[in-house]
Amino acid sequence: MTQDDIRGAVLSVLTTIAPEVEADDIRDDALLRDQVDLDSMDWLNFLVGIHKRFQVDIPEADYATLRTLDDVVRYVGARQHS
């Protein structure tokens, strides 16, 4: 899976949680939760969606490192190759 594939899939998980979001409007390097109105339940559902889509484990201790779209894409990429 290329970075672009991962990015597209992450965005599709995000738009499932927040249907009003335009995927094209999401900036890679800005805080996701500043760009999209996600409460703690939405955020958990987003990460559960990532977990299910990519079969990656996301320990709670890692939540804090996942702040931007870019963070999430890299995180998933690193775990898929290992």
Partner 1 sequence: MIEFTMPALGADMEEGTLNEWLVAPGDTVARGDIVAVVETTKAAVEIECFHDGVVGELLVPVGETVQVGAPMATLLSPGETAPPRTSTTPSAAPVATPSAAPMATPSAAPAATPSAAPAAVPSATEPPHRRWVSPAARRTAESLGVDVMTVTGTGPQGAVIISDVEKAAASAKKPEPTPVAAPATKPKPKPAAAADRASQMRKAIAAAMGRSKREIPHYYLMHEIPLEKALTWLTEHNAHRSITERLLPAVLQLKAVGLAAQRFTEFNGFWRDDNFVPASGVHVGVAISLRGGGLVAPAIHDVPEKKLDELMSDLTDLVARARAGSLRSSEMSDPTITVTNLGDKGVDAVYGVIYPPQVALVGFGKPAQQVCVVDGGIRVVTAMQATLSADHRASDGHRGGLFLAEIDQLLQQPDVLEK
Residues of the shown chain interacting with partner 1 in the complex, contacts defined by CB under 8 A = 15, 18-20, 22-23, 33, 37, 39-41, 44-45, 47-48, 51, 57-61
Q: Are 56 and 43 in contact (CB under 8 A)?
A: no
Q: Please say which residue, 4 or 39, places its beta carbon nearer to partner 1.
A: 39
Gyration radius of the chain's alpha carbons: 12
Rounded CA gap, 73 and 9, in Å? Answer: 9
> Least distance (Å) from partner 1 to the CB of residue 47?
6
Burial of 14 (0-12, 13-18, 19+ CB in 10 A): buried
Q: What is the DSSP letter of 31?
A: B
> Least distance (Å) from partner 1 to the CB of residue 1?
18
Q: Please say which residue, 50 or 73, places its beta carbon nearer to partner 1.
A: 50
> Least distance (Å) from partner 1 to the CB of residue 58?
5
